[in-house]
Amino acid sequence: MSTDIQITQEYFYDSAKKRNRVVDEIRELMCYRDLVRNLVRRNITARYKRSVLGIFWTLLDPLLTMMIMAVVFTALFAKSIPGYPVFLLSGIVIWNFFAQASTQAMMDFMYSGSLVAQVYMPKSVFTFSAIGTHLVNLLLACIPLFLIDFFIGRPITPAILFLPVSLLLVSLFTVGAGLLVSSLAVFFADMVNLFTLSLQLLMFLSGVFFTVESLPESLQTIVSFLPTFQMVTIFRYPIYYGEIPPIESLMYFSAWTIVMLIIGLYVFTRLSDEYAYRV
Amino acid sequence: MTEKVSDPDQIAVRLEGVVVRYPYEKNRATSLKEYFIRRLKGDIRTSYLTALDGITADVRTGETFGIIGRNGAGKSTLLKVVSRIIHPTSGRLRVWGKVSSLLGVGAGFHPELSGSENVFLYSALLGRTQSYTEEHFDEIVSFAELEDFIESPIRTYSSGMVARLGFAVAMVKRPDILLIDEVLGVGDELFQGKCRKKFRSFQEKGTTLVIISHGLGQIEQICQRAMWLHQGDVMSLGDVSGVLADYRSFIQEN
């Protein structure tokens, strides 16, 4: 028995201990990384469990959406933008990732009430599992995207190897945004509607459908300041133009990513003691 | 949060003036618009429901500690504080050891997923690693007596089967401190007997048990010490016979 006791003394918890909430949250999250993995798997498999095609829907779903979008919008913009389907689809893929991951992070967290009230876990697992889930979806959506890229005859260059860097930045930015909207949504249910609506507006301003040059000049400046516009840019460049994204875009978006992560982590952990009382 | 600390007094849980106050607005603003209008009018008044009002108590290492009291006395809230689900509004909680609780057993089960997928999900939810669960998977399944159904989605299970699976996962690992909330109503006689045997084997290896129960006879049988809570206050604390006597005379008076 004495050996048992010795081992267990490593676990000691003191509620009065001064702590850095952000560091604690990250450390706890590392301990619960297998939970994040399991939640990602659940999100992906449970969704199509009863369907005949099953997991293939995660591949088919974006493919079909992309084809519909491409057909409709190509008719509108094909003349002004060469290789328009690739231009459009690269924008849609990264936009969907950002919009769907941050929205799911928020919804999962809001509906985690019964779980959070019964079992201890670091609350940010919901944000990270939502981002993980949509990262898987994004990677699958890249398969048809690259195929279309190839068949339409856009230049495929080594710049494509830059994509992981773009993806890492976008993922971290989305983590920050997801944490921020999740914490706000718990205190104000209106946040859900507000955020969904803002996303729609942002999508049109972020250059998913058209190049920034096609906008009136006054609007061009404003749009280029939007972090989501730069987000689309740094993902699109390696695929559509076959070039490494402009350094200004990278610097600017990286700065936003850092700010967003800090704000998201700070607000989320600041409020997290209160979640069990509220959700 | 985890560090080496010696525990000379053999205390498992120490509560010092623990207060839990739930905020609730009498007519809570759930929308931003409403919130700002009320804020401008100065009409935001938060009321507090005091669930625990300064609890001071020690639970000793290795003992079985009972918590009794009427509904709404704060018993479950206290277990939630000890399992770190709720952070105390004020006061201090110290815990020496790994806590596991049988609160919300099977929380997070997904009906469309198979039994085995749910085992991994729930086990991860309890903070265990994938490799730990893989190692103990067979043990879990045989404890739950679900060998033949483990690959079927759990929406096809009976409620007893679901509960057994949850218990089997929760109980596979021996914690230092186990929190139990009115638990022994799960499964049939045979399964309950198996659970009790498991509890005993935990105790023999040094696990501290904290039990909430309305069954006073049960508390008397298995606990060494107990606490009686009433409306968030400690009414009586100490040897189980004394606490039960206090509680019984209170019940008779009312």
pLDDT of the residue at B9: 67
pLDDT band at B81 (very low <50, low <70, confident <90, very high): very high
Share of chain B above pLDDT 90, in %: 61
Torsion of CA B235, B239, B243, B244, to 10 degrees: 160
C-alpha distance from residue B198 to each of A102, B173, B191, B207 (Å): 43, 10, 11, 11
pLDDT band at A97 (very low <50, low <70, confident <90, very high): very high
CA distance A150 to A242: 12
Residue type, B243: V
Which stretch of A3-17, A153-167, A259-273, B226-240 has the lowest confidence by average pLDDT? A3-17
pLDDT of the residue at A279: 58
pLDDT of the residue at B17: 94
**pLDDT tops 50 at residue B105:** yes
pLDDT band at A2 (very low <50, low <70, confident <90, very high): very low
pLDDT of the residue at A84: 83
Using CB atoms, which residue from A4, A9, A19 is nearest to B4?
A9
pLDDT of the residue at A106: 94
Across A93-102, average pLDDT: 95
* Strand arrangement, sheet containing B46-60: A12-14, B90-96, B11-25, B46-60
Residue B3 distance to chain A (closest CA, Å): 5
Helices (H), ranges, chain A: 2-8, 21-31, 33-47, 57-77, 84-110, 113-116, 125-152, 163-187, 190-205, 217-225, 227-236, 247-278
pLDDT of the residue at A8: 44
Comparison of pLDDT for A114 and B174, the residue scoring more? B174
Mention every residue, 6+ apart, whose C-beta is less than 8 A from residue B119: B133, B137, B140, B141, B150, B165, B169
**pLDDT tops 90 at residue B133:** yes
pLDDT of the residue at A4: 43
| Residue A209 in tokens | 């459908």
**pLDDT tops 80 at residue B236:** yes
Residue A30 distance to chain B (closest CA, Å): 10
Cβ separation A276–B86 shorter than 8 A: yes
pLDDT of the residue at B30: 65
CA distance A201 to A15: 44
Residue B250 distance to chain A (closest CA, Å): 31
Which stretch of A273-277, B29-33, B159-163 has the lowest confidence by average pLDDT? B29-33
Comparison of pLDDT for A144 and B169, the residue scoring more? B169
Residues of B with Cβ-Cβ distance to A23 under 8 angstroms: none
Residue type, B49: L
**pLDDT tops 90 at residue A126:** yes
Across A238-246, average pLDDT: 92
Share of chain A above pLDDT 90, in %: 49
Q: Are B103 and B67 in contact (CB under 8 A)?
A: no
What is residue B46's DSSP assignment? E
pLDDT of the residue at A10: 53
Residues of A with Cβ-Cβ distance to B49 under 8 angstroms: none
pLDDT band at B192 (very low <50, low <70, confident <90, very high): confident
Residue B156, Cβ density class (10 Å: 0-12 exposed, 13-18 middle, ≥19 buried) = exposed
Residues of A with Cβ-Cβ distance to B35 under 8 angstroms: 188
Residue to substitute from B61, B125, B152, interface A, most A β-carbons within 10 A: B125
CA distance B73 to B232: 5
Comparison of pLDDT for A17 and B219, the residue scoring more? B219
Cβ separation B127–A35 shorter than 8 A: yes
Across B121-137, average pLDDT: 95
Q: What is the mean pLDDT of chain A?
A: 86
Radius of gyration of the CA atoms of chain B, in A: 21
Helix (H) or strand (E) holding B75: helix B75-82
pLDDT band at B4 (very low <50, low <70, confident <90, very high): very low
C-alpha distance from residue A96 to each of A10, A174, A203, A208 (Å): 44, 11, 9, 10
pLDDT of the residue at B43: 65
CA distance B125 to B133: 11
Which stretch of A56-60, A212-216, B227-231 has the lowest confidence by average pLDDT? A56-60
pLDDT of the residue at A249: 94
Q: Does B71 touch chain A (CB under 8 A)?
A: no
Cβ separation B206–A5 shorter than 8 A: yes
Using CB atoms, which residue from B31, B87, B112 is nearest to A189?
B31
Strands B177-181 and B11-25: unpaired
CA distance A208 to A252: 18
* CB–CB contacts below 8 A, A to B: 139
pLDDT band at A124 (very low <50, low <70, confident <90, very high): very high
The pLDDT tens digits for B164-184 are 999 999 999 999 999 998 766
Using CB atoms, which residue from B30, B94, B99 is nearest to A14?
B94
Residues of A with Cβ-Cβ distance to B5 under 8 angstroms: 9, 12
Across A231-241, average pLDDT: 94
Cβ separation B4–A118 shorter than 8 A: no
Across B146-155, average pLDDT: 94
**pLDDT tops 60 at residue B51:** yes
Q: Does B92 touch chain A (CB under 8 A)?
A: yes
CA distance B120 to B173: 14
Cβ separation B205–A4 shorter than 8 A: yes
C-alpha distance from residue A169 to each of A64, A125, A240, A254 (Å): 27, 19, 19, 7
Across B218-237, average pLDDT: 93
Provide ipTM, 2 decimals.
0.85
pLDDT of the residue at A9: 45
Q: What is the pTM of this model?
A: 0.87
Comparison of pLDDT for A36 and B190, the residue scoring more? A36
CA distance A127 to A107: 10
Q: Are A105 and A131 in contact (CB under 8 A)?
A: yes
**pLDDT tops 90 at residue A245:** yes
pLDDT of the residue at A128: 97
Q: What is the mean pLDDT of chain B?
A: 87
pLDDT band at A5 (very low <50, low <70, confident <90, very high): very low
**pLDDT tops 60 at residue A7:** no
Burial B196-222 (b: 16+ CB within 10 A, else e): eebbeebbeebbbbbbbbeebeebeeb
**pLDDT tops 60 at residue B15:** yes
Q: Does B93 touch chain A (CB under 8 A)?
A: yes
pLDDT of the residue at A212: 81
The pLDDT tens digits for A183-195 are 999 888 888 999 9
